[in-house]
A and B are shown apart, each in its own frame.
Chain A
Amino acid sequence: MRQALEGSQALARAVALCRPQVVSAYPITPQTHIVENISKLVADGELKCEFVSVESEFSAASVALGAAMAGSRAYTASASQGILLMAEVLYNIAGSRVPMVLTCANRAVSAPLSIWNDQQDSMAVRDAGWIQLYCADNQEAIDTTIQAYRIAERCEVPVMVCVDGFTLTHTMESLELPEQAQVDGFLPPYKFSRTLDPARPLSSGALVSPDYFPEARHSHHRALEKAIEEIEAADNDWGEVSGRSYGGLLAVEGPEDAPIGVLTLGSVFGTLATAREDEDHNVRLIRLRSFRPFPFDRLREVCEGLEKLVVLERALSPGAGGIVGNEVRAALSEMDSPPAVYSYAVGLGGRDVPLSTLHQALERVQDRPAERFAVFDVELDKLPEEDR
């Protein structure tokens, strides 16, 4: 049954449907009300779970790590500076190969201070060894959260579900929550193979000499590569359970013979898709759901035949340009005739990405050789002469 739910509220319910045993969170800015809603479900007796309210995001991630190591299904959520404060623990969680799920309600990172949406936070921890899945809308955020637990537990790799802050978390829309029985059938009770157990003592994350460190990193990298199949399978199988799936590693829309593609991550996709349909543009829209692991093969497949590919992303690496843009360019360089890649940041710090963006992007690349990088919606007249 469809119902009116705000993104954060829906996500709290989706997490509850996964029956987490420990949820830990720092409850103050830049937190969203996902965890506030979870704590309410716990207080109302609707969710049996240990809710640990901690004094920082560093502790929130640490408590979740300990809980997951001890065999609990664990959850936390954060955003922006909170994700950065967690960064050290995020590496520890992933390096220890502990399964858990974290929602990153994507927001800009200071300075200058901004509370609004972009994806700089999750991009800043892209190398921590987590699987990263990006959602286009709140229905997908619900369904991906459920899929994420299965992927995490089967691969023994943590999953970060990235959901655009405000644009999705604070939007009320018509959503469908799955039945508890559907989720229970999809997610069997969690049993961690290397759980801490006094009867079987072991240490985890201990000092590893140079004799073994590269091997640990190698197997971690392999685990993420192998997760590709589980990500596709989880989306596929959840599709059979719920009737909703999202393309697995990436979603594609638009004509197969279109000469130009536009690639993006997250909620901008819906705006681009509406523009494509309303204005009838001959363009192929591609959305990366999985950024880690990076879907090299699938991406090359869907870029076959494109002359140009525009990458629109809500983050940047100052001094290098597009984070996603550069990775996409590198991935496509192995094609026989790769498309020219135009890499742009758009919608930084919550700047609205209007419907006209698609038209503007197609216009911009029409008679121009590939652009290495630009901030697409920068207004140069606001800047001093030397910065233009």
Chain B
Amino acid sequence: MMMNVRIHGRGGQGNVVAAYLLAAAAIEQGLYGQAFPAFGAERRGAPVVAFVRLSKQPVRRRDQVRSPDFLIIQDEALSHVPGVLEGLAPSGRVLINSSRDSETVSQEYGMPMTSLPATRLAKEHLGRPVPNTALLAAFLTLTGTFPVEALIKALGDRFTGKVLEKNTNLINAAAAQVEAGSWKEQLHAASA
């Protein structure tokens, strides 16, 4: 299996960290993984991209992910930026941070999308508008790649105490907002 993920966000949203967390959690689960950013101007608000590959075999290729199986979009406004929605695999799926429901955003962008109000959830639980861990929790729940506990464990390498506790609550809240395993088929298609 090889699963390719592309994460779009803005500087300050923890885009690279999201990619690293996903890979770290996967590696912790015994998979091979690779996560790397496409650095641009390193300033807050600038569009940034990061890539993740997960596999049962060691990953040797080093090129950017051009046709992702999954897109995670941390800022809905980025959907209008050329290239962001490009290259998605035919069976691919999109997870988008939006306060609007999935049907509305899917209609607007003309492709099926699953929305999660990640910024609102993050503000509620962390007091800060950092949507990355909420989106990862939803992503893992949708695909069923591995349990969100692995993500919490990977976060434990970065945070302790109150911050870890708040993030754990955020992760559980985000996971509860999406339908568990509803992207399983796409995951199998990606792995084929």
Contacts and interface: CB of A to CB of B under 8 A. Distances in A.
B23 A354 contact: no
Interface stretch (A15-23, A163-171, A378-386): A163-171
A2 interface: yes
Interface residues of A, number: 27
Contact of B61 (A2, A174, A271): A271
Contacts of A352: 63-64
Contacts of A271: 60-63
Nearest to A171: B36
A355 B39 contact: no
A270 interface: yes
A165 to B, nearest CB: 10
B20 interface: yes
A4 B24 contact: yes
Contacts of B33: 4, 172-174
Interface of B: 19-20, 23-24, 27-28, 31-37, 39, 58-64, 66, 154
Contact of A274 (B39, B61, B66): B61
**Which 7 residue pairs across A and B have the least CB separation, nearest first?**
A270-B60, A4-B24, A4-B27, A171-B36, A274-B61, A172-B35, A271-B61
A267 B62 CA distance: 7
Contacts of B19: 172
A166 B36 contact: yes
A353 B63 contact: yes
A192 B13 CA distance: 50
Contacts of B36: 166-167, 170-172
19 contacts: A3-B27, A166-B39, A168-B62, A170-B39, A172-B20, A172-B24, A172-B33, A172-B34, A173-B23, A173-B35, A174-B33, A268-B62, A270-B61, A270-B62, A271-B60, A353-B62, A353-B63, A354-B64, A354-B66
Nearest to A167: B62
Contacts of B27: 2-4, 173-174
B35 A174 contact: no
A313 interface: no
A353 B64 CA distance: 8
A237 interface: no
Interface in A224-272: 267-268, 270-271
A314 to B, nearest CB: 12
Contacts of A171: 34-36, 62
Contacts of A153: none
Contacts of A268: 62
B63 A172 contact: no
A303 interface: no
Name which of A172, A271, A354 has the most chain B CB atoms within 10 A of its CB.
Answer: A172
Nearest to B27: A4
Nearest to B37: A170
A275 B60 CA distance: 10
B16 to A, nearest CB: 8
Given A174-B27, A273-B60, 6 more contacts: A116-B39, A172-B20, A172-B35, A173-B23, A270-B60, A355-B61
A304 interface: no
A278 to B, nearest CB: 9
B60 A274 contact: yes
A4 B22 CA distance: 10
A54 B42 CA distance: 24
Nearest to A7: B36
Contacts of A115: 39
Contacts of B154: 4
A42 B121 CA distance: 39
A370 B108 CA distance: 52
A118 interface: no
A274 B35 CA distance: 17
A166 B31 CA distance: 22
B61 A4 contact: no
A137 interface: yes
B44 to A, nearest CB: 18
